[in-house]
């Protein structure tokens, strides 16, 4: 075991920089809050929380292209891991742009890519090996390659100056980290990471890989990057179903190991904003937002926080939602749709907090403020 892991200071290799909050000036400009956000496109990289159907087109066990997934999208399963809309669909509505289509869909070409593309893939992680137990998936590194393919196509569709301006005003959203824990670190029977690394050292490994890709986005010309942290995974039905905590409690040991990653990601946002002129990286505090919902469910209209609407076994989380299974009828009262993913109702709350929220939700500015900067 690497004893360096006891140091809570986040090391990001050569990307360690002096921490600085660079957006205090931004936060002092109230007119930014009142305008209508304007982005020409949204590019999405991530995992099953934001997959729009990419995994429909690859050999994988991580699929959601069957009912009851999509039951609240007019009974249309699209590959989204939700009863309805994902965080990205709801964020696109707030931005007043179409939800970006899946990269792997053969129809995602030509003018369809002008308002953005979704590269997210269920089971994907920051590390290439995360999620291999599900079979095929587009990891973060592969999604970056796919993004560059799209940008090469877009470059041919507009003048150099227009292309530069288009990239600078577009929004990039990255949702990663969950699978590096659920389908890697927390699976010692399949992965050696928890034997080789203490939780802080593993978090810093993830952050160093993530930092490199976040720098690459800047090098490609993208300037507005939204990066949510990892939710309290110890509270999802899948982890509660392990039976290692009392029935009414989250698995605290799982939640505790996420602290270094989330704190480090917030610090990384500071570092990138300090180092990269014209960029605005924003950290989304998913952990706190979900925690608030779970601690105060009635305030948000929820009555069920500890089990899935669709699933089998303890907490309906031992086996996730299966084809043709009958889900709960009162879906808007459930925080979790299946063993791993929020309901559309919960996603809607997360999207609004990211878009309109204070710095405790989205730091140093919210998505609306961010998109109005140019």
Indicate which residues carry an active-site annotation. 48, 338, 341
Contact criterion met (CB below 8 Å) for 225 and 280: yes
Q: How far apart are CA 236 and CA 254, in angstroms?
A: 11
With a CB cutoff of 8 Å and minimum separation 6, the contacts of 298 are: none
């Amino acid at each position: 075991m690497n004893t360096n892991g006891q140091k809570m200071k986040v090391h990001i290799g050569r990307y360690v920089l002096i921490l600085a909050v660079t957006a205090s000036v931004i936060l002092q400009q109230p007119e930014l809050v009142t305008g209508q956000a304007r982005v020409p496109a949204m590019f999405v990289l991530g995992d099953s929380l934001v997959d729009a159907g990419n995994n429909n087109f690859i050999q994988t066990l991580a699929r959601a292209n069957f009912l009851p997934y999509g039951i609240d999208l007019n009974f249309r399963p699209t590959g989204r891991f939700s009863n309805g809309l994902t965080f990205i669909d709801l964020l696109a509505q707030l931005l007043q742009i179409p939800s970006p289509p899946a990269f792997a869909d053969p129809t995602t070409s030509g003018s369809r890519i002008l308002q953005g593309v979704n590269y997210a893939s269920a089971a994907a992680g920051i590390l290439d090996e995360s999620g291999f137990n599900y079979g095929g998936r587009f990891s973060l590194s592969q999604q970056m390659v796919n993004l560059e393919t799209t940008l090469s196509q877009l470059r041919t569709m507009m003048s150099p100056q227009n292309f530069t301006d288009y990239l600078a005003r577009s929004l990039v959203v990255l949702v990663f980290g969950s699978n590096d824990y659920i389908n890697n670190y927390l699976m010692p029977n399949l992965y050696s990471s928890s034997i080789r690394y203490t939780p802080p050292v593993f978090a810093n490994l993830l952050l160093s890989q993530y930092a490199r890709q976040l720098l690459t986005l800047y090098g490609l010309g993208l300037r507005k990057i939204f990066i949510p942290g990892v939710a309290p995974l110890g509270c999802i039905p899948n982890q509660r179903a392990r039976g290692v905590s009392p029935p009414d409690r989250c698995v605290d040991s799982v939640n505790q190991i996420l602290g270094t990653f989330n704190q480090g990601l917030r610090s990384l946002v500071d570092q990138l904003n300090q180092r990269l002129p014209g960029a605005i990286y924003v950290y989304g505090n998913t952990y706190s937002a979900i925690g608030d919902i779970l601690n105060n469910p009635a305030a948000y209209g929820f009555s069920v926080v500890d089990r899935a609407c669709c699933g089998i076994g303890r907490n309906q989380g031992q086996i996730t939602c299966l084809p043709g299974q009958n889900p709960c009828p009162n879906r808007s009262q459930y925080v979790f749709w299946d063993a791993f993913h929020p309901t559309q109702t919960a996603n809607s709350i997360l999207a609004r907090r990211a878009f309109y929220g204070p710095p405790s939700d989205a730091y140093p500015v919210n998505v609306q403020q961010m998109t109005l900067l140019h």
